[in-house]
Amino acid sequence: MELTARELLTHLFQTALDEVDGRHRVQLWCRDNNAQFEYCVAVGKAAPAMLQGVLDCQNSLKQALLICPPAQCSRALRKDKRITVVESSHPVPDQSSLDAGESLLRFLASIPQGEKLLVLISGGTSSLVEVPVAGLSLAQLQQVNRHLLASGKNIAQMNAWRKQFSQIKGGGLLDYVQAENCVQLLISDVQNDEAAVIGSGLLVASDNQALDDDVFLHELLSSLPSKSKIDTQSISVETHIIATQQQAMQALCEEAEQMGVACYRHDEFLCGEASEEGVRIAQWLLSAPAGVHIWGGETTVTLPEQPGIGGRNQQFALAAAQVLDGYHDISLLAAGTDGIDGNTPCAGAVVYGSTLQAAQKLGMDVAQALRDADAGKVLMATEYWLKTGPTNTNVMDLVIAYKRQ
């Protein structure tokens, strides 16, 4: 039976997710390296899946600390007496994030000398666990993060600033690790897969990262006591990046070709304002060859004072839908591989040449929705949104377009 355009796009998206599933990638690494660890820390959106991958093939684990968003930890993990589960806040840290930071430091201090430690890190870590610098209140920490989220900065810029206000980011956690052997496995949610940027580099010293000229953040930073210099020689950490956006894209492309559909993988990294990028890609598709076209990246949205409902992928898709209006041979999916887009339960959206007309029939002003960062309201009302639930991974965003012959 021939798939509809939506079925094809969502199938390819799921294929990409399966390739970089946290449980799967950790299993592969542990088995390939025949590694055994007594202690484990797992932090991030994919932390429950990554920790389960350890449990699948480890028989030496004594204790583990799991820090993750609410309602993402399985019942089996909660029942395991070796595991301490801490649920925390994302995308803005709150008191639970500070509590998670204290739990992390206590856990590291409890590891006996000579034991082996495995650290699992995925996207979301920057908000989920924090130990603020001296003099920074929780309210100020939240103000910093809300400012960053609304600023339109990319993740590297955001995390460079987050490190300035943290005792554990930018390699600060190295001061608290006393295990003899420490290995970290990372799922990359940043461009170029830089370990120092993933999760704000808890175990990667990066004091010299350049900061932009954000006046508000510079003024706040100058009002705080200077951070102490990190002892980069305190411990050696072996780092492995086990899942990337490139792996996801490769698996997607191979699946499309096995289904008999020509696939074009575009190497440019999509970034910048989501609505502008959505228009640009859609305009390019009008004269593109038939088949599947895929891009990776992570765009941004500079939020108005009172933003609506949506996220960068819905903003991207709805902007593209304006260009694709009436072109019924082109469909486009834009989604976050973590299953979350902005302040909605959606991963993103799938749009067609009929999306704009469907919105107009409901009396919706698409252009105004884009200006108000309210794309989600339009896409959910017209049922062009895409919902996946937790995906067990996070390798930024994928854009997949299908153009029929």
The pLDDT of residue 232 is above 60: no
The pLDDT of residue 187 is above 90: yes
Mean pLDDT throughout 117-139?
Answer: 96
The kind and range of the H/E element at 15 are: helix 5-19
65 and 83 share one domain: yes
Beta-carbon contacts of 42 under 8 Å, excluding residues fewer than 6 positions away, are 48, 50, 51, 54, 64, 65, 66, 67, 68, 119, 120
CATH number at 197 reads: 3.40.50.10180
174 and 296 share one domain: no
- 274-284 pLDDT per residue, tens: 999 999 999 99
206 and 89 share one domain: yes
- Choosing from 243, 265, 293, the residue where a domain stops is 243
| pTM, rounded to two decimals | 0.94
The pLDDT of residue 100 is above 90: yes
87 and 217 share one domain: yes
Q: What is the DSSP string of 110-139?
A: HSPTT-EEEEEE-TTHHHHS--BPTT--HH
- Choosing from 184, 213, 243, the residue where a domain stops is 243
Which of 121-130, 170-179, 320-329 is least confident?
170-179
CATH number at 321 reads: 3.40.1480.10
Q: 91: which 2 tokens? A: 């995308």
Which residues share a beta bridge with 270?
297
Percent of the chain having pLDDT more than 90? 90
357 and 252 share one domain: yes
139 and 200 share one domain: yes
Mean pLDDT throughout 138-144?
Answer: 96
CB-CB contact of 318 with 385 (8 Å): no
The pLDDT of residue 1 is above 60: no
Q: What is the total count of domains within the chain?
A: 2
- Expressed as residue numbers, the domain containing 106 is 21-243
Quote the pLDDT of residue 85: 97
In the structure, what pLDDT confidence band is assigned to residue 214 with cuts at 50, 70 and 90? very high
25 and 169 share one domain: yes
326 and 259 share one domain: yes
11 and 76 share one domain: no
199 and 256 share one domain: no
Quote the pLDDT of residue 233: 56
pLDDT top residue among 206 and 233:
206
Task: Measure the CA–CA gap between 335 and 251, rounded to whole angstroms.
Answer: 16
Q: Which residue has the tokens 């028989």?
A: 59
Mean pLDDT throughout 207-219?
Answer: 87
- 288-339 pLDDT per residue, tens: 999 999 999 999 999 999 999 999 999 999 999 999 999 999 999 999 999 9
Quote the pLDDT of residue 235: 79
What mean pLDDT value characterizes the chain? 95
- Choosing from 243, 277, 302, the residue where a domain stops is 243
